[in-house]
Amino acid sequence: VPWIVRDARFRAHRGAPGHPECPERLAPLEAWLDAHPEAAEPLALREATDPELLAVHSRPYVEQLASLRGGSTWLDPDTYVAPRSVEIARLACGGAIELAKRVAAGHGRAGLALLRPPGHHAERAAGMGFCLINQIAVAAEALRFGMGVERIAIVDWDVHHGNGTQHHFEASRDTLFVSLHRYPFYPGTGTLAERGAEAGLGSTVNLPMPAGAGDAEYLHAFADVVVPVLREFRPEMLLVSAGFDAHVRDPLGGMRVTTGAFATMAAQLLEVARDTCEGRIALLLEGGYDPEALSECVREVLAVLSGDRVVSALHTPPTSESSRRLVRIYGEAHGTRFASVRRLPPR
Ligand SMILES: [Zn+2]
């Protein structure tokens, strides 16, 4: 049974009526989890500490957040802060850390954290894009400095590029960041040319997708690039920025990924984690703005993590002209580092 992080206090993070990042996003899923306590084992959470946050965020920004406790404001036109938002973001971040550490401690148990607000857009010195604290980056640093986990892979399948996560790790050779996202789209980063910096050159792998991409594009990018890259990197721990806003029913994403394809991506990552790092995989919720679609996807992912779904039983769509073209483009951009590139026919 996988671990799960969820907390009723997250519901107090609420903005103006009609804001898509709202407590109601999780309502159908929470109701299902309440009715199925056997589906996952809850983990207790606590607020992330200042030293944990300071591994990723600047001191002035952490102090700015502290000063906003109890107040209401906007960090940018999308990103609200309600009176309990800072407390809740720190709790969500502490939940991410506790989950990552519990999974890293072993025993082959995977985990999922239903965090609100999301985190992957948050930069070192600024919140943005609904995000206050970059939970996945803080969790990865907590594993590195708290548990000596060195090689960490982060896969980000949220429909938006994880700019904050990329920027934090782009000079790190020991952190692989692989992102599938719609491009051009918010937040504007995530081109093929962004491949990391300095010692980390090559450890950032962006896989931009055209609007309307669906199962064929995502699953062939997974099979031909994401999975081979992860196997070559051989992580000690796999973290996933699991947004579900590329779902076909999502009101913001404009993509066509089905629930079954999300389950397949989770199953493939679980398989990689089993083969390379004794099954150490933790998924952190990012976006996903259709409550029923989000509930379906997370239930399927939990079934995968608990071993109730078998990879071979999941559908794999045929390649399409678009998926073949994308994989060729990815191969050319990321060079001979990847096995998939070496399999491509000469032009
Ligand atoms: Zn998103």
Instruction: Kindly give the distance from the C-alpha atom of residue 250 to the centroid of ligand 1, in angstroms, as a whole number.
Output: 10
Tell me the pLDDT tens digit for each residue of 282-325: 999 999 999 999 999 999 999 999 987 776 556 678 888 999 99
Helix (H, G, I), strand (E, B) or coil at 7: coil
Instruction: Kindly give the distance from the C-alpha atom of residue 31 to the centroid of ligand 1, in angstroms, as a whole number.
Output: 23
Percentage, residues of the chain above pLDDT 90: 88
Q: Tell me the pLDDT band of 338, cut-offs 50, 70 and 90.
A: very low
Whether 335 shows a pLDDT value over 80: the answer reads no
Average pLDDT on 327-338 reads 75
pLDDT of amino acid 318: 82
Average pLDDT on 190-204 reads 93
pLDDT of amino acid 309: 76
Average pLDDT on 259-270 reads 95
Dist. CA 119–CA 223, nearest whole Å: 27
Instruction: Kindly give the distance from the C-alpha atom of residue 210 to the centroid of ligand 1, in angstroms, as a whole number.
Output: 15
Whether 262 shows a pLDDT value over 50: the answer reads yes
| Per-residue tokens: 159 | 């429909």
pLDDT of amino acid 274: 94
Instruction: Kindly give the distance from the C-alpha atom of residue 267 to the centroid of ligand 1, in angstroms, as a whole number.
Output: 21
Instruction: Kindly give the distance from the C-alpha atom of residue 156 to the centroid of ligand 1, in angstroms, as a whole number.
Output: 10
Percentage, residues of the chain above pLDDT 70: 95
Dist. CA 345–CA 342, nearest whole Å: 8
Burial class (CB in 10 A: 0-12, 13-18, 19+), 151: middle
Dist. CA 309–CA 66, nearest whole Å: 43
pLDDT of amino acid 312: 59
| Cβ-contact 245, 161 below 8 angstroms | no
Would you please indicate which residues are annotated as catalytic (active-site) residues? 121
Map 95-133 to HEC letters: HHHHHHHHHHCCCCCCEEECCCCCCCCCECCECECCECC
Residue with tokens 């990847």: 338
Over the Cα atoms of the chain, what is R_g? Answer: 19
Instruction: Kindly give the distance from the C-alpha atom of residue 245 to the centroid of ligand 1, in angstroms, as a whole number.
Output: 6
Whether 94 shows a pLDDT value over 70: the answer reads yes
Residues with CB under 5 Å of ion ligand 1 are 158, 160, 243, 245, 287
Helix (H, G, I), strand (E, B) or coil at 209: strand
pTM, 2 dp:
0.95
Average pLDDT on 214-229 reads 93
| Per-residue tokens: 30 | 């929470």
Whether 135 shows a pLDDT value over 60: the answer reads yes
Instruction: Kindly give the distance from the C-alpha atom of residue 159 to the centroid of ligand 1, in angstroms, as a whole number.
Output: 5
pLDDT of amino acid 341: 35
